[in-house]
Structure 1
Amino acid sequence: MAMSTGEGKTEVTSNSDWMSQLRPELHDTPLYKLAIPGSHDSMTYDLDINSAIIEPDELKKWSWIICARELVRTAATTQDVTITQQLDAGVRYFDLRIAHKTNDPDPNKFYFYHGLCTRTDVETVLRDINDWAEKHPKEILILALSHFKDFNEELHQSLIKSIKTVFGAKLRNKVSTQDPFPTLKSCWDKGTNVIVSYDHSANQEPELWPGIKYYYGNSMDPATIESKLESALHKRGSKAQDFFVCGLNLTLPEDTGVLKYILNPCDKLTNVIKRSLPRMLQWLKQQYSQTPYMNIVASDLVTCDDFVSTVVQLNWPQ
């Protein structure tokens, strides 16, 4: 996925290593000032049709009906390629929602979820990410863990211990008076290319970051999403010094209006997403030209419509 950046400028020749190919003057730029591609509900390609329905609450009692689970999976699937494929495509931020299965015979096993639980457990996926990070030491990965469905304090401590065990010395400590906001160069120098955000009060660990603010439009209408995001970014301003996410993802209605998108045999939800993405990417470029502080940009179907290349391109002068 080559990217031409104009005469005399560095060229990204592969999105799998785009951070290491950024122009040298960006190496000392705080990471919150870089445009970083991310995936929304990153693990939904792996949802388990045999899982009980975790959400919405109105459908939990119908978990025993396979067609109900199939409808939930259809509505909840926002990604169609694996974590490793997303990494290879250039995605560097991952939205990871965690659940513990009630009555699971293994009390220390956790899963990702969105409507249903995933087939693959959390530790297995984290080890896959760690293996990728080992092979790409100059690519900085941001993992945002949140929601923690059916957790208690003991489960939090078990998961936190697992995270620290898997990534070890790769974990970049959160900002402190002794450790300022990381840059590409400071991460490279320390060999710390994994940042884990753990969005829960149980997180008291210096190796784990607090939750990252995620702005989204809460709508299926691209124009509404653009308007809400523009308003949120304007209120935020350019002086804030922390990570944030601009979510280009569509959000399904929580009432019966959802049936329009999951029962229409002539127009699948993925097609609706694909139609909306080019328009929102055009909005993104226009917005960035006015306020060049976008940071993480997250989307559904991250390998579609040059999403990654469009976001990475924002790191070059327009």
Structure 2
Amino acid sequence: MSAKKGNIKIANYTDWMSQLPSELWTIPLFKLAIPGKCIQCNCVQHQTQHEYNITMQLEAGVRYFDLRIARKRNDHHPTRLYFYHGLYTSTDVETVLGEIHAWTVAHPKEVIILAFSNFNGFEKNIKDKLHNHLIGFIKTMFGRHPHTAELLGPSKNVIVSYDYPANYHPEMWKKITYYYANSMDRAQVKSKISEALGKEKTSNCEILIYILRLCDSFPNVIRRGLPKLLKWLKQQSGVNIVASDLATRKDFVSTVVELNSALMKP
């Protein structure tokens, strides 16, 4: 008999990890269902992004962040970086990471996963300088730990994935594998993700499954697709990281967290 919905009781999703049943405390992260979000997901959603700043997203229960990094070509500051996915954020990377750090210090039992990737505008003559600056800032902000794939920081509740092999550092995870169907056709998206989930059955803790939103443009289409995503999720098992543009809306976080009921003994 499998675990039924309702086995996991969360009073407040601000600290949902620490409220999980004790039998799940030793579950590896790669087996845990974790809600995620992309910072600055697309240009059309630029205004809605401000409705939920990074602290509000953490408070809502988001624990994985897809951080796509970019440098503005004409920025007079040589190492200032922003998040980018079709449009630059107005707030720089260092400021946002500072907000994340402050939150993790206040919530030491909540594990946060930060996945840095893309690195738009990292031109050949400056890319090493920019990578070294960003990695140095991350280490200074979140601390160091000598073992590969261990959590960073004094409370060890921050994991950093850095998708640039030439700048591999043992304190950080390498690229986190994620799947995303760049299509407006929901049937095609569902088929591609289902196929990926079927193939990627692994015990390697450095490979996490990430499902990127149903659609990649037009907020109204994304909003219509969210209920379908939630319905589909409730039928899944073995899902790890699930990310949506609308992670702070409706029942997204609670639906993802509830998937962990399947990990409990009947």
Note whether the superposition's TM-score is higher than 0.5: yes
| 2:40 corresponds to 1:91 | no
Instruction: Spell out the pairing of 1:221-232 with structure 2 (5 A cutoff).
Output: 221-232=185-196
Q: Which amino acid is the alignment partner of residue 208 of structure 2? A: F
Question: Is 2:44–2:219's contact at 8 Å kept on the other side of the alignment?
Answer: no
Q: Which amino acid is the alignment partner of residue 157 of structure 1? A: N
How far apart are residue 308 of structure 1 and its match? Answer: 0.3
Q: Which amino acid is the alignment partner of residue 32 of structure 1? A: F
SS of equivalent to 2:110: coil
- Greater radius of gyration (CA): 1
Instruction: Spell out the pairing of 1:57-206 with structure 2 (5 A cutoff).
Output: 73-74=43-44, 79=49, 80-151=51-122, 152-169=127-144, 173-175=147-149, 191-206=155-170
Q: Deviations over 1:189-239 (max 9, x none)?
A: x72000011100233212111110011122112221111101011111254
| 2:263 corresponds to 1:314 | no
Question: Is 1:173–1:195's contact at 8 Å kept on the other side of the alignment?
Answer: no
Q: Which amino acid is the alignment partner of residue 56 of structure 2? A: Q
Instruction: In structure 1, list runs of 5 or more residues that go unmatched.
Output: 45-71, 253-260, 262-268
How far apart are residue 243 of structure 1 and its match? Answer: 3.5
Return closer, same or farther for 1:150/1:232 CA change in 2, 3 Å cut-off.
same
Q: Which amino acid is the alignment partner of residue 18 of structure 1? A: W
Return closer, same or farther for 1:26/1:94 CA change in 2, 3 Å cut-off.
same
In 1: Cα distance, 2:146 partner to 2:245 partner: 27
Q: Deviations over 1:97-121 (max 9, x none)?
A: 1011223221121111112211111
In 1: Cα distance, 2:256 partner to 2:135 partner: 31
Sequence identity of aligned pairs in percent? 51
**Equivalences, count:** 255
How far apart are residue 249 of structure 1 and its match? Answer: 0.8
Question: Is 2:184–2:215's contact at 8 Å kept on the other side of the alignment?
Answer: yes
Q: Deviations over 1:161-209 (max 9, x none)?
A: 011111115x69533xxx6xx7xxxx99x72000011100233212111
TM-score by length of 1: 0.73
TM-score by length of 2: 0.87
Question: Is 1:112–1:121's contact at 8 Å kept on the other side of the alignment?
Answer: yes
Return closer, same or farther for 1:105/1:173 CA change in 2, 3 Å cut-off.
farther
How far apart are residue 91 of structure 1 and its match? Answer: 0.3
How far apart are residue 244 of structure 1 and its match? Answer: 1.8
Equivalent position to 1:17, from 15, 19, 29? 15
In 1: Cα distance, 2:187 partner to 2:226 partner: 12
SS of equivalent to 2:261: coil
Q: Which amino acid is the alignment partner of residue 214 of structure 1? A: Y
SS of equivalent to 2:167: coil
In 2: Cα distance, 1:218 partner to 1:294 partner: 20
Q: Deviations over 1:26-56 (max 9, x none)?
A: 11111000000001x3234xxxxxxxxxxxx
Question: Is 1:38–1:296's contact at 8 Å kept on the other side of the alignment?
Answer: yes
How far apart are residue 75 of structure 1 and its match? Answer: 6.2
SS of equivalent to 2:156: coil
Question: Is 2:82–2:88's contact at 8 Å kept on the other side of the alignment?
Answer: yes
In 2: Cα distance, 1:228 partner to 1:308 partner: 23
Question: Is 1:245–1:298's contact at 8 Å kept on the other side of the alignment?
Answer: no
How far apart are residue 5 of structure 1 and its match? Answer: 6.1
Return closer, same or farther for 1:23/1:208 CA change in 2, 3 Å cut-off.
same
In 1: Cα distance, 2:90 partner to 2:146 partner: 29
| 2:265 corresponds to 1:295 | no
Q: Deviations over 1:50-88 (max 9, x none)?
A: xxxxxxxxxxxxxxxxxxxxxx83266774421111100
Equivalent position to 2:34, from 18, 33, 36? 36
> Which structure ranks higher in relative contact order (CA pairs < 8 Å, sequence separation ≥ 6)?
2
